[in-house]
Amino acid sequence: MAQAAKTDEGGRRDLEGELKALIANEISDAETFVSTEVVTERVRAINYYNGEMPDTPHQQGWSEFKSRDVADVIGWVLPGIIRVFTASDRIVDYEPTKPGDEAFTDQASDYANYVFWKDNDGYRIMWDATHDSLLQADGIVKTYWDDSEECEYSVHSGLDAQSLALLLEDPDVEIMSQKEADPFTDIDPETGQQVSIPLYDVKIKRVTSKGKLVMETVEPENFLKDRESITIETARFVCHRDPHVTRSKLIEMGFDKKIVENLPRYNFTSSRLSPEANARDPYQFGNANGDPSMDRIELYECYIKADVNDDGIAETVLAYYAGASGAGELLDWEIWDDETPFTQIPCEPVPHRFTSRSLAGDVMDVQQIKTSVGRQLLNNAYQVNNPQKDIELGSVINMDELINPTVGGVILRKQGSNPVNYTVTPSILQDALATMGFMDQVIEMRTGVSRATMALDPETLQNQTATANQNQRDSAYSQVELIARNQAELGWKKVFAKVLKLIVKHQDRPRMIRLRDEWVEMDPRQWNATMDAQINVGLGTGSRDRDMSMLNNILASQIAITDRFQAAGLADKAIDMMPKIRKTLVKIVEAAGIKNADSFYPDIDEADLEQLKQMAAEMASQPPPEVQVQQAKIQADVQKSQAELQLKQQDQQSTLQMTAMQNEANIQLQRDKMQQDAALQAQKMQMDYELRQQQIAAEIQLKREQLAAELQLKRELAAMGQQNENTQVSSDVRTGGEPG
């Protein structure tokens, strides 16, 4: 942090000492004002919200009932306001303030919404600021640019010189340590010789972010200002008191270590402890003895107007002051050329006064009355249900049964004593309920919260028309809408104006973000930092059915107007209605509670509209509709005649083709028949030939067999003749005759 000169040339002015004394005095005065004028109401509001009412103690032994009207009212109003701002993904839209801004308004709006919802915990910021506003009159949102670097450290082993050089080409990489590793031995492909390649082990630091926009909600008790100013912008002194900063964090922020180590530790048990913080959560503070570096130090981030360069004009000075006021140290300071980072989110602004009115302030007195009446009602019910007993002294033998009766127990009295009598206590039920009902009406008149609006109570619908019930709900919603409008116009509008200025001033490089399922580059350096911020609060407080019904009516009227333009020949006007119709469709999706409504309909930009207008102009240059109809009819007749002629030609061609195909088929059939007949004739001749061959073979075989048989017969006859001749010779020999 650049620090201005502390003394003038002659050394006569101790500027740092004067600034330290001035800041200590402002802090002391602001804390005194808060402790005497504001803190009591804040602590009471927190206690009443939590159901603690130390200013309305109960009678010992009687009802401890506590009404919870503050919590009930805030619990009903808070969801409606949150829905106003979260119904759409775009809480802010920027509007141009000079020619040329139109090209960047959508980009700036998308990026600011992305920074709020994604980079920061937007929902939590919205919830906390709105809750503080309703409960403690004002929420405080702090918006600033954090220029501290975010780094990642990594270790890389075994890198050669080329890999190390490639790593260092990234400008965001810095070597923290480097040492040589064991070399790698390889074979040179050209020479075949072994070569030793040196390797390195390095630890690097990579800068992942060089600053970002930060948004956070400041506890109301930790925001200080001078008592005279009625706005933050005109205040001469505003300050963020942070009792949660540690010595380690202060040294990490760059402050002098010796000064930080000598700062007094924040004492949670002393009068320095914030009563609001203690009422909010009495268990979050303690004095556990840990490491001294983790001691909490009370740090004041102050923005004060003072003449530090002797030009007679007060400059805004940012100063860091640590320790209790009057006993602390000025850590560092510089002249500040930006706006102060704080923005007030009011509930019910009061003219010509800084502190607003809260819903809790409208209800706390009623809660106190209802608590007292409720206790009286319950105490009376106890007395009615358990009346006092009137007995004669010494007449009851078993007093325990009389004092602590049991089911079916028997009271024993002395003979001749008077019976036990019971004191009758009048019931105040009707009067007490009427009183509490009247106080509910007071709450309804002040805040709009009633049984009819908090929930669908069947009793509230009896003897009441739907229109009357809807009017009653709308009347209540109008008060919620007023609170939302106050917060939007007097608070969130300023917040997002600061967001745009800080982004344009400090983001010095493009950034890629994922938007509607696409990666988009955002480069704020060309944007106008003074574009108007408009907060989207058009819908959300009423019922979803009412919002969607209203939007559907708007959509129907837009379509009707578009049709009128088109029928009148005003095509350009009809085309200009398309983005408006798309916007209505997107709002319908948002009213239904569906996120990312823009993803349901394609974007329509100026180029699309110009193209549509050009197409419409080309269509308009065509002949009149009657001529177009006649031309179309003539052209249709010509096309019909051509089609009929073409059909006839196709029929003739088809007939010729069929005849040719039939003739070819007949010829082929004849060919096939002749081929079959020839094949059959050849087959028959072959069969006849084979049969003749078989017959001849059979005849030859038969002839052979006959010849063989005849030859055999001749042989047998010859043999028989020889045998007979031999037999005759033998006979002649025996008889002595000569052979004949």
Q: Which 8-state DSSP code applies to residue 160?
A: -
The predicted pLDDT at position 116 comes to: 92
Q: Which residue ranges in the chain fall short of pLDDT 70?
A: 1-13, 149-151, 207-210, 267-273, 284-289, 325-327, 450-476, 537-546, 591, 593, 595-596, 598, 620-628, 729, 732-740
The predicted pLDDT at position 102 comes to: 83
CA distances from 535 to 94, 347, 391, 513 (A): 9, 16, 74, 22
Rounded CA-CA distance 188/198 in Å is 15
Rounded CA-CA distance 357/702 in Å is 146
Q: What is the pLDDT of residues 487-525, one digit of tens each?
A: 999 999 999 999 999 999 988 888 888 887 788 888 898
Q: What is the pLDDT of residues 211-221, one digit of tens each?
A: 889 999 999 99
The predicted pLDDT at position 140 comes to: 94
Instruction: Report which of 179, 172, 183 is spatially closest to residue 156, judged by C-alpha positions.
Output: 179
Helix, strand, coil percent content, the chain, rounded in steps of 5: 55, 15, 30
Structure tokens at 27: 């802090």
Q: Which 8-state DSSP code applies to residue 348?
A: B
Residues 6+ apart with CB under 8 A from 29: 226, 227
* Gyration radius of the chain over CA positions: 54
Rounded CA-CA distance 675/685 in Å is 15
Q: What is the DSSP string of 684-727?
A: HHHHHHHHHHHHHHHHHHHHHHHHHHHHHHHHHHHHHHHHHHHH
Rounded CA-CA distance 604/596 in Å is 16
3-state secondary structure of 494: helix
The predicted pLDDT at position 243 comes to: 85
Rounded CA-CA distance 309/8 in Å is 9
Residues 6+ apart with CB under 8 A from 437: none
User: Residue written as tokens 């837009």?
Assistant: 558
Q: What are phi and psi of 384, to 5 degrees?
A: -65, -40
Residue spans of beta strands (DSSP E) within 413-452: 421-422
Q: Is the pTM of this model over 0.85?
A: no
User: Residue written as tokens 């007097």?
Assistant: 490
The predicted pLDDT at position 563 comes to: 84
Q: What is the pLDDT of residues 685-737, one digit of tens each?
A: 888 888 888 888 888 988 888 888 888 888 888 888 888 777 776 776 666 55
First to last CA, the chain: 177
User: Residue written as tokens 């209505």?
Assistant: 584
Q: Which 8-state DSSP code applies to residue 38?
A: I
Q: Which 8-state DSSP code applies to residue 222?
A: G
Domain ranges in the chain are 15-55+236-339, 150-209, 361-473, 655-740
The predicted pLDDT at position 150 comes to: 67
The predicted pLDDT at position 736 comes to: 57
Indicate if the alpha-carbon torsion angle 365, 367, 372, 374 is positive or negative: positive
44-51 long-range contacts, CB within 8 A, separation 24+: 44/364, 45/70, 45/135, 45/136, 45/358, 45/360, 45/361, 45/364, 46/135, 46/136, 46/276, 46/279, 46/280, 47/279, 48/360, 48/363, 48/364, 48/367, 49/74, 49/135, 49/360, 50/279
Q: Residues 151, 205: contact at Cβ < 8 Å?
A: yes
Rounded CA-CA distance 319/322 in Å is 10
Size of the chain in residues: 740
Rounded CA-CA distance 523/498 in Å is 17
